[in-house]
Chains A and B, each alone.
Chain A
């Protein structure tokens, strides 16, 4: 007996009404007779039931809250009337401890703050500190940092895809995509020696140059990863269940998204083409050839599409980057910030003094302040550092993209069903380590 695969054409959608009379995007599907019909007929209006509102608590320990987020929901039947989020269950005082550490010593903390994107955070912090020190990094270092940032974007979005699928009920893509993630991990491990918490950069350079064979691994990854991605894409993008569970949920218009300070894929899904890499470029991103994905409706499905595209675009950058990788030093030739090589530190008086001063006192930036933002997988990640001329910052501020994105969740879930809250929450791609810091 032939089985028919039920697929939807997501390009063809019509405007319908949900049960509460609000406009909604409804996908069109081909039914068994070959006719194109709206996917679900609007359900008949439910009779108004007597009853009070109900209070439901989700979290802080709940698998669908991606950590320790807590949501208190006021429900009318199954519909969310109000959502009160509670955060801070993972507040670890990053910003306070940054005031007690030298600039290079802070880099390990940046690993642990948005721990899905450690190499990207290292790069962002190093860029901020270098602005504060007034250092121009070498060309080779720039390209290496681009490779690190884009690999980090891939592993972060891989976790998002895996957990998003689990939240909605699809387990298989999680297993597929985590296998690919392990490949990136082994590349990072060969580069710097750590899987997750990389501490990849230093102020003025990198912790290590790429090892032999790294570019071949990278090429191999760039060749094979799109295939796995295409499998996930084939499994999800036009899957009727997937589309039915994601379309029309948590929509934010372009104006709202800007006003609520959303950034990254959340903002782009709402139809605002703003990417820090394009609009406030760093690391010569303007010379790479890549596109940014923009959604239309700003709903959960559009965020999914935008992030899927953002899994493909880094591959384009990763294909270009090793081709232009110049020879030459990785670290700047400035012993105010970069430790001299160990052999020289033990044989050369001047190098030894530099070594001693750096280890004992730490590099000192001039008085000033710098805010440097990068495009992290979650959005605009900014590091704001204020120096008073000592070796430790007066203030180290993290601008957390998912903190601001999550702040809009009461608006996004209002009027949706309880089960949709999980999908909307998963679509924000939150990392509690970054939100609570």
Chain B
């Protein structure tokens, strides 16, 4: 017999001459293809971005074209957390708990400037980016992003999912922040990174 040539990695091959009903593909590709095209988003809408998210889901932009018509309002039956809007400190434990309640595999889209970086709210109340609380896969810039931008972000996430490997366990590794790991940001660095920009925190020229 000998070895048959390895099929192209990302193509489902069908032999049209054959009467047999079988296909060959890579398991990774098949699983990722299924995952990427049937994402169940969990909209965590807090502010303005939630309205643009609703517009994306409504008639004109129609998110259902991307296999996302099934909004999951329960985190336990969701794949993608779409954090749309600003996240104040009072909401921080809530979004972390929601993230913990979602089953693997799960992804997170940070929609809008406020969720990604605190945006224009550099003050006492707002978390400066939800990536200080939960891991984020795709950042969608904009204040708020247009529905097209959100859809583009979702397509980027689908691309990312297509490149995943099931054998790579580290993708699904859930650990509390470990001070020895590379991902850990020490408090000193957080403070340094979130220094105020320009003179935006002074009330008057005298700095009061």
Residues on A with C-beta less than 8 A from B143 are 197
B51 engages A178 (CB within 8 Å): no
Q: Counting CB contacts under 8 A, is B146 at the interface?
A: yes
Rounded to whole angstroms, the CA-CA distance of A60 and B60 in the bound complex is 29
A179 engages B120 (CB within 8 Å): no
User: A89: which of B59, B73, B90 is its contact (CB, 8 Å)?
Assistant: B90
B94 engages A60 (CB within 8 Å): yes
Residues on B with C-beta less than 8 A from A197 are 48, 143-144
Q: Which of B160-199 touch A at CB < 8 Å?
A: none
Q: Counting CB contacts under 8 A, is B88 at the interface?
A: yes
A89 engages B88 (CB within 8 Å): yes
User: B86: which of A92, A99, A159 is its contact (CB, 8 Å)?
Assistant: A92
Q: Counting CB contacts under 8 A, is B202 at the interface?
A: yes
B125 engages A159 (CB within 8 Å): no
Residue-wise, chain B 69-90 has the 8 Å CB interface mask toward A (1 for contact) of 0010101000000000110101
Residues on B with C-beta less than 8 A from A174 are 58
Asked whether A108 and B120 contact (CB < 8 A) given A60-B91, A61-B98, A178-B59, the answer is: yes
Asked whether A433 and B48 contact (CB < 8 A) given A100-B201, A100-B203, the answer is: yes
Residue-wise, chain B 32-64 has the 8 Å CB interface mask toward A (1 for contact) of 000000000001111110111011001110000
User: A196: which of B46, B52, B60 is its contact (CB, 8 Å)?
Assistant: B52
User: A180: shortest Cβ distance to chain B, in Å?
Assistant: 10
User: A62: which of B50, B73, B85, B146 is its contact (CB, 8 Å)?
Assistant: B73
Closest to B118 in A: A92
Residues on A with C-beta less than 8 A from B90 are 88-89, 91
A196 engages B144 (CB within 8 Å): yes
A93 engages B123 (CB within 8 Å): yes
Residues on A with C-beta less than 8 A from B144 are 196-197
User: A295: shortest Cβ distance to chain B, in Å?
Assistant: 27
Rounded to whole angstroms, the CA-CA distance of A34 and B51 in the bound complex is 45
Closest to B89 in A: A91
B52 engages A89 (CB within 8 Å): no
Asked whether A97 and B123 contact (CB < 8 A) given A433-B47, A433-B48, the answer is: yes
Q: Counting CB contacts under 8 A, is A109 at the interface?
A: yes
Rounded to whole angstroms, the CA-CA distance of A268 and B43 in the bound complex is 34
A90 engages B88 (CB within 8 Å): yes
Residues on B with C-beta less than 8 A from A89 are 46, 88, 90-91, 94
Rounded to whole angstroms, the CA-CA distance of A420 and B54 in the bound complex is 24
Residues on A with C-beta less than 8 A from B126 are 92-93
Residue-wise, chain A 57-81 has the 8 Å CB interface mask toward B (1 for contact) of 0001111000110000000000000
Closest to A195 in B: B146
Rounded to whole angstroms, the CA-CA distance of A389 and B205 in the bound complex is 13
Residues on B with C-beta less than 8 A from A159 are 51, 54
Q: Counting CB contacts under 8 A, is B204 at the interface?
A: yes
Residues on A with C-beta less than 8 A from B48 are 111-112, 115, 196-197, 433
Closest to B94 in A: A60
Q: Counting CB contacts under 8 A, is B121 at the interface?
A: yes
Residues on B with C-beta less than 8 A from A162 are 54, 58
Q: Counting CB contacts under 8 A, is A157 at the interface?
A: no
Asked whether A178 and B94 contact (CB < 8 A) given A63-B73, A97-B121, the answer is: no
Of A63, A96, A112, most buried by chain B (CB within 10 Å of CB) is A112
User: A115: which of B51, B71, B98, B121 is its contact (CB, 8 Å)?
Assistant: B51
Residues on B with C-beta less than 8 A from A178 are 54-55, 58-60
Q: Which of A154-209 touch B at CB < 8 Å?
A: 159, 162-163, 174-176, 178-179, 181-182, 185, 195-197
B125 engages A92 (CB within 8 Å): yes
Closest to B201 in A: A100
A432 engages B47 (CB within 8 Å): yes
Rounded to whole angstroms, the CA-CA distance of A436 and B47 in the bound complex is 11
Residues on B with C-beta less than 8 A from A60 are 91, 94
Q: Counting CB contacts under 8 A, is A390 at the interface?
A: yes
7 example contacts (A-B, Cβ-Cβ < 8 A) are as follows A61-B44, A61-B98, A67-B46, A68-B46, A89-B90, A162-B54, A432-B46
Report which B residues bind A (CB closer than 8 A): 43-48, 50-52, 54-55, 58-60, 71, 73, 75, 85-86, 88, 90-91, 94, 98, 120-121, 123-126, 143-144, 146, 200-204
7 A-B pairs with least C-beta separation: A178-B58, A115-B48, A93-B123, A93-B125, A63-B73, A175-B59, A182-B60
